[in-house]
């Protein structure tokens, strides 16, 4: 390696970019278990898309999601189709 590339690599390692280990601390969110309890037949297209966005594929399918404002909004939108557990 040339000296210029080597110093650039050292700088990236010091910032945690090239180290191979993610040094950024992520905030831990609680988990919510969401289950699809009612069919999406005869619901609006946006509600069907929201259910798919939550990762639910079929009736009584459950997924665990991070408790974020975006997920809470999606659950609020199609809450009449879901059962939620904390």
Q: Is residue 7 part of a domain?
A: no
Q: What is the pLDDT of residues 46-55, one digit of tens each?
A: 999 999 999 9
Strands in 1-86 per DSSP E: 31-36, 62-66, 82-85
pLDDT at position 3 is 77
Q: Give the model confidence (pLDDT) of 14-68 as tens digits.
A: 777 655 555 555 667 799 999 999 999 999 999 999 999 999 999 999 999 999 9
Asked whether residue 54 is domain-assigned, the answer is yes
Q: Please report, for residues 4, 21, 81, the alpha-carbon distance to residue 9 in angstroms, rounded to integers and kept in the order given.
A: 9, 15, 51
On whether the pTM is more than 0.85, the answer is no
The secondary structure of residue 26, as a DSSP letter, is: P
pLDDT at residue 16 in the model:
72
- Please report, for the domain that includes residue 69, its CATH number: 3.30.1390.20
The rounded distance, in Å, linking the Cα atoms of 84 and 61 is 12
Q: How many domains does the chain have?
A: 1
């Amino acid at each position: 390696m040339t000296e210029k590339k080597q110093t650039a690599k050292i700088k990236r390692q010091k910032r945690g970019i090239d180290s191979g280990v993610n040094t950024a601390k992520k905030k831990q969110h609680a988990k919510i278990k969401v289950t699809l309890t009612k069919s999406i037949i005869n619901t609006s297209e946006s509600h069907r898309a929201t259910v798919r966005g939550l990762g639910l594929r079929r009736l009584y399918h459950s997924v665990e999601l991070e408790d974020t404002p975006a997920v809470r909004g999606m659950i609020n939108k199609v809450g009449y189709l879901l059962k939620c557990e904390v």
